[in-house]
Chains A and B, each alone.
Chain A
Amino acid sequence: MMSQIVQVEGLNLTYKSLHAVQNVTFSVQSGEILAVIGANGSGKTSTVECVEGLRKPDSGLIRVFGKDPWLKRSEVYEMMGIQLQEAEYFSKVRVGELCGLFAAFYEKPADWNLLLAQMGLDARRKSMVHKLSGGEKQRLSILLALMGRPKLLVLDELTTGLDPEVRQNMLASFENIRKGGVAIIMVSHYLDEVEALADKILYLEKGKQQFFGSKQEFRQYVRSRIPEDEWDENLSLEKLYLMIAPKTTGLTMEGIL
């Protein structure tokens, strides 16, 4: 039976004069994957950081496992795994040492030796973290998010920096994790992975919620916003998104020559 893991109602967040998140409402059930999409600067990371309890919202209700993540952070973190969009680790620490450190933060940590092998990082156990490649660092970051055997995973641009093969493996892994009843919130610019994984979509534009619902409902949402002759039932989510996403001017030679 599915239970509500995350509940967000009327979320607002401002940075000085910038209203970064405006009246956003959504929910996530156990075993469900929510994809948060939108252009750069649309408020995706700000929204998930409020859910993570890393930012205090100006107004609105946020409940994670029925608790306010800002006030009950350490209790919520026992059940929530987080992969941040950008975060470094100590430079002079070895991969195995960092895993051991994170394992000590949780009552019942995951078997990180097994995770290292599954993530293809077993041979890098004794390597210094700063010597890892971008993709390896990203995999390590995901591994650390899984360390507390979370019931909710928040992944901010999880596949950025991964090569296509590892990315495919990672997507399959998250499908398996979801089947275990774990809820996942993923921020992504890759609509193909959203199409493959997500059950629901939250689409933001300039901090405002444009859409929240299932993938099928998102298709209907796009259809209602484009001329009928442009509609094709077989269009991918990426193509559909590009039809409604804010347009940017491409680079022209005029500015260069």
Chain B
Amino acid sequence: MRGFAVICKMELRLFLRDFFSFFFALVFPVLMLLLFGGIYGNEPVYEGADIGMMDISVPAYSVMVIGVTGLMSLPLTLAGYKEKKIYKRFDATPVGKKSIMLAQVLVNLAMTLMGIGILLLAGRLLYQVQLKGDFASVCVSLLFSITALFSMGFFFTAVGRDMKSTTLLCYLFYFIMLFLSGATMPDMLFPDTIKRISALLPMTYAVDLMQGTFAGDGLGLHGRELLILGAVTAVCTAAGAVLYRKKDWT
């Protein structure tokens, strides 16, 4: 147990030392908030609406944070560990390779929550962002969004033959989803063709779910999003686990 705690501490240190992960999970979303908050403020999204631009942007940027940790940081770190035979080295110790994988998931989860926490705090302080949803619904929407995007990242690591192909898969899906899911710009601005593509992306449903529950919707209103994100989690985790077992770790 002590060994596992020390691995988690080490993984946390490595996450913070990695500029990409640190910047894009903890700093960049706040910069986006400042940029678009500076342009639009927290004005109503349309005339008479009781919800402001930043009220819908904070949950959307929260999904961006989940995307950075789940689709970039986690899978690319795991792929690097496999390629450099770091897993193999840890497998030759009493703690085994599963400990390092679990520590990676936990650290990325913790950093996701921290990134979202920083966003919420900045939104609240700078633009009086309201979190109208009940705590339980917001937690469930977070859980479904995190598990879906993390399991996609896990699947990409399992599918990628090496670091290069995993990086390609992660970058491709991350950036497509980032720009077409409504995580960076409201999907109401998209033309119909883009909306049709957007409907194919799991991150779109995470953004809709998070924006809905943050605005006070009950989970019952988002059954479709929960179902799709749950299915993505189940399929990616199962397929990823099968592919992982088939891989030669040595």
B239 to chain A, nearest CB (A): 23
Is A199 interfacial (CB 8 A cutoff)?
A: no
Chain B 48-97 interface residues, beta-carbon cutoff 8 Å to A: 84-86, 88-89, 91-96
**Is B96 a contact partner of A87 (Cβ separation < 8 A)?**
no
Beta-carbon nearest neighbor of B10 in chain A = A101
Q: Tell which of A54, A74, A101 touches B250, judged by Cβ atoms closer than 8 Å.
A: A54
**Is A92 a contact partner of B88 (Cβ separation < 8 A)?**
no
**Is B7 a contact partner of A101 (Cβ separation < 8 A)?**
yes
Chain B 74-131 interface residues, beta-carbon cutoff 8 Å to A: 84-86, 88-89, 91-96
* A–B complex contacts, Cβ < 8 Å, 8 sampled: A54-B92, A77-B94, A84-B92, A88-B85, A89-B89, A92-B14, A97-B13, A105-B95
The interface centre, meaning the residue of B6, B91, B94 with most chain A CB atoms within 10 A of its CB, is B94
**Is A88 a contact partner of B94 (Cβ separation < 8 A)?**
no
Is B3 interfacial (CB 8 A cutoff)?
A: yes
User: Which residues of A are in contact with B by a Cβ distance under 8 Å?
Assistant: 49, 52, 54-55, 73-74, 77-78, 82, 84, 86-90, 92-93, 97, 100-102, 104-106, 148
**Is A93 a contact partner of B94 (Cβ separation < 8 A)?**
no
**Is B92 a contact partner of A52 (Cβ separation < 8 A)?**
yes
Excluding A78-B94, A101-B7, 18 further A-B contacts by CB distance (< 8 Å) are: A54-B91, A73-B91, A74-B95, A74-B96, A87-B85, A87-B89, A88-B86, A89-B86, A92-B14, A92-B17, A93-B13, A102-B93, A104-B2, A104-B5, A105-B93, A105-B94, A105-B95, A148-B93
Write out the residue numbers on chain A whose beta carbons fall within 8 Å of the beta carbon of B18.
92
| Assembly CA distance A77 to B3 (angstroms) | 14
Q: State the main secondary structure of chain A at its contact with B.
A: loop
Write out the residue numbers on chain A whose beta carbons fall within 8 Å of the beta carbon of B250.
49, 54-55
| Assembly CA distance A202 to B18 (angstroms) | 45
A50 to chain B, nearest CB (A): 10
| Assembly CA distance A93 to B81 (angstroms) | 13
Beta-carbon nearest neighbor of B77 in chain A = A90
Write out the residue numbers on chain A whose beta carbons fall within 8 Å of the beta carbon of B2.
104
Known: A87-B89, A89-B89, A90-B86. A104 touches B6 (CB 8 A): yes
Q: Tell which of B5, B85, B96 touches A84, judged by Cβ atoms closer than 8 Å.
A: B85
Write out the residue numbers on chain B whose beta carbons fall within 8 Å of the beta carbon of A105.
3, 93-95
**Is B96 a contact partner of A93 (Cβ separation < 8 A)?**
no
**Is B10 a contact partner of A90 (Cβ separation < 8 A)?**
yes
Write out the residue numbers on chain B whose beta carbons fall within 8 Å of the beta carbon of A77.
92-94
B14 to chain A, nearest CB (A): 6
Beta-carbon nearest neighbor of A147 in chain B = B93
**Is B14 a contact partner of A93 (Cβ separation < 8 A)?**
yes
Write out the residue numbers on chain A whose beta carbons fall within 8 Å of the beta carbon of B91.
54, 73
1/0 per position for B129-140, CB-CB distance to A under 8 A? 000000000000
A70 to chain B, nearest CB (A): 12
Write out the residue numbers on chain B whose beta carbons fall within 8 Å of the beta carbon of A104.
2-3, 5-7
**Is A88 a contact partner of B84 (Cβ separation < 8 A)?**
yes
Write out the residue numbers on chain B whose beta carbons fall within 8 Å of the beta carbon of A55.
250
| Assembly CA distance A99 to B17 (angstroms) | 18
| Assembly CA distance A105 to B90 (angstroms) | 10
Beta-carbon nearest neighbor of A85 in chain B = B85
Beta-carbon nearest neighbor of A15 in chain B = B248
| Assembly CA distance A104 to B88 (angstroms) | 18
Chain B 1-44 interface residues, beta-carbon cutoff 8 Å to A: 2-3, 5-7, 10, 13-14, 17-18
B10 to chain A, nearest CB (A): 5
